[in-house]
Structure 1
């Protein structure tokens, strides 16, 4: 009986020791072990709409048509019409039985294309009013938006910038109707490359993107002064990164799926350092190593800080 009580007492002492150790770790790091208590604090960017579903209709070439004019060679007429077999009607300059010059093409689905045509292609400057989509004003090449242009969507969102082969490609500025903005590189109608996204509440992300997602190295800044300088994968912090608080506290270390995961170094506002191991955003062990350097070789601080 006495031996059992002694064992119980030893077990309780071990449990209490573990509790004290956990409380000591918690006290050292306070609530900083998870810099983002609420995941929605780091909102994901909006995805820009595109006209991919209408990519075929953005090519204005008509090889087969029924013209109001006879099909003699070298015919030239002005302000006449060409009626296409798909129901489209072109009104404007006709040379050699084809749309050549300034004109207007009205499609059965309600799309209207107006501008300069060459051999049935909308070529040069023009304007497209999509019945179910944006209004595009800008440059064209062989029937597709190509060059500098502007898209105005029905909800008030606006894109101004480069187009290639009928899609946003190059550099451009997109303003959502909700007042978010993105200024940077695009590929095939998607945010891709390097650019800056700004939210209406003052937060911003400047860095690398892949297919509309924060992906690669970036700098995410909050309006209260805290910021994260590090790596992202699919809109979430993943890889190495440094998180700074407005009062001077800092976490240097590794992340996975938006949370601290792996080795890390916490530095409080007095400069005291604690090396630890994190798992899914929670601190699981720590030590008093003071000369630890976690920042990878070749890592440049504030690469995208603007």
Structure 2
């Protein structure tokens, strides 16, 4: 997930700002020092994208660790719906479906109806409810290339509440629609990262909280797996950014606050300060300025400058 963010250095202890040496007075957090604000962007590029079956269906070659051994006796212990396994009474008849898949279980009018087990011709295995040869109801689906899904089905696809377990140990629990993660859900990666929030077509989308394994977190809006809109990104040392994003980069208005209380309030573009802003040291001393592409181009001692957009605090 990338290295831990560097700790910011302290403000200068001078009582007053020197207009000609503003950058020095602010130390390494001066507005033209990009690294102070880029730690987050470097890490943002490394937040995990959730895997999905579409990725595997496009023909990606899988390593051994990405396959489940369906003959492994330990596998059954990972499935909560073990009651779906066929009992002697449920074994019923065995029939071959039109596509060549083999079914064993309850049969009504020559079709699979009720509980049963289905061996699909692509190697997948399903155990659970079937109506008129269609997977419908509750069951467990073992993908030969991909995860194990345990939950609800509609018209042969995961739909409703379910649990998706991937071979590397990653787990998703939540809502599905038309075969994809959609709605509210929690995804826990094997590396220790976690996302809880809204999903759309297998992507992190909407409002949610992402936690890294090293303690960093982002809570806010997402658009197709990227931080997008208003959000708050926090580090374990106490510093944070509260503001607007566009596609994983700060863009719009936002606060960057260090652990000792000093801060930058102002506008951003493409992850850098851009436009009007104010630097405030830990004692409350202010210096207003204008930035272009992360570089300070002018500053003043004006005190009657409106930086925070109208209604900003109500958007939090």
TM-score range normalised by the length of the shorter chain:
0.7 to 0.9
How far off its partner does 1:142 sit? 1.5
**Matched residue, 1:49:** 51
Q: Equivalent residue for 1:290? A: 303
- How many Å apart are 1:232 and its aligned residue? 0.4
2:277 match: 264
Match of 1:15 in 2: none
* Structure 2 residues not aligned, in runs of 5+: 1-17, 59-89
Whose RCO is larger (CA < 8 A, sep 6+)? 2
Report if aligned partners of 1:229, 1:301 keep a CA contact under 8 Å in 2: no
> What CA distance in whole angstroms lies between the structure 2 residues aligned with 1:28 and 1:54?
54
Q: Deviations over 1:128-150 (max 9, x none)?
A: 00011000000111111111100
Residue number among 171, 175, 183 corresponding to 2:184 in the alignment:
171
Q: Distance in 2 between matches of 1:148 and 1:107?
A: 23
Structure 2 residue corresponding to 1:24, chosen from 17, 21, 25: 21
- Deviation readout 1:15-40 (Å, 9 max, x if unpaired): xxxxxx98512223322214743734
Q: Which residue of 2 aligns with 1:138?
A: 151
Contact residue 229 and residue 302 of structure 1 kept, 8 A: no
How far the C-alpha of 1:234 sits from its partner, in A, is 0.4
- The residue that corresponds to 1:252 in the other structure is 265
Deviations 1:31-58 (A, max 9, x none): 22147437344412210011125789xx
Q: Distance in 2 between matches of 1:284 and 1:180?
A: 40
Match of 2:6 in 1: none
> Residue 11 of structure 2 aligns with which residue?
none
The size of the alignment, in residue pairs, is 263
Q: Structure 1 residue 37 and structure 2 residue 36: aligned?
A: yes
1:72 is matched with: none
Partners of 1:161 and 1:200 lie apart in 2 by 21
CA radius of gyration, larger in:
1
Aligned CA RMSD, in angstroms, stands at 2.1
Equivalence for 1:95: 108
Larger strand fraction of residues: 1
Give per-residue Cα distances to partners, 1:224-259, cap 9 Å, x unaligned: 000011000001111100110111111111111111
- How far residue 292 of structure 1 moved from its aligned partner, in angstroms, is 1.3
Q: Distance in 1 between matches of 2:229 and 2:195?
A: 17
Would you say 1:186 and 2:199 are equivalent positions?
yes
Deviations 1:195-243 (A, max 9, x none): 0000011100000001011000001001000001100000111110011
Query: Where does residue 14 of structure 1 map in the other structure?
Result: none
Please name the residue that 2:63 is paired with: none
TM-score by length of 2: 0.78
Who is 1:129 aligned against?
142
- Cα distance in 2 for partners of 1:153, 1:38 equals 35
Report what 1:7 is aligned to.
none
* Contact 1:192-1:212 at 8 Å conserved across structures: yes
TM-score (norm 1): 0.81
